[in-house]
Amino acid sequence: SFLNGIAPYFSIIYLAALLFLIARFLYQYQQSLRLFHAGIQEPDASLAVFVEKTAHKMGIPKKVVIGLSTIADTPLTIGFWKPVILFPVAVFNQLSISQAEAIIVHELHHIKRNDYLINLLLALTDIFLFFNPFARILSAIVKKERENSCDDKVMQFQYNPHQYGQALLILEQNRQNGHNISVAATGKDAPMLLNRIKRLASHKSSPAPVLGKLSALLFFL
Q: Is 169 exposed, middle or buried (0-12, 13-18, 19+ CB in 10 A)?
A: middle
* Mean residue pLDDT across the chain: 84
Please, which pLDDT band fits residue 211 given cuts at 50, 70 and 90?
A: low
pLDDT reported for residue 172: 84
pLDDT in tens, 136-164: 888 888 888 888 899 999 999 989 989 99
pLDDT value of position 188? 55
**Residue pair 177/27 in contact by the 8 Å Cβ criterion:** no
pLDDT in tens, 56-98: 999 999 899 999 988 888 888 888 888 989 998 888 888 999 9
Q: Per residue in 167-198, pLDDT tens?
A: 988 888 887 655 555 555 555 566 777 788 88
In angstroms, rounded to a whole number, what is the distance separating the alpha carbons of residues 38 and 40?
Answer: 6
Does the pLDDT at position 209 exceed 90? no
Of 111 and 203, the one with more pLDDT? 111
Measure the CA–CA gap between 112 and 62, rounded to whole angstroms: 9
d(Cα 164, Cα 60) in Å, to the nearest integer? 23
78 Cβ neighbours under 8 A, 6+ residues apart = 32, 35, 36, 84, 86, 116, 182
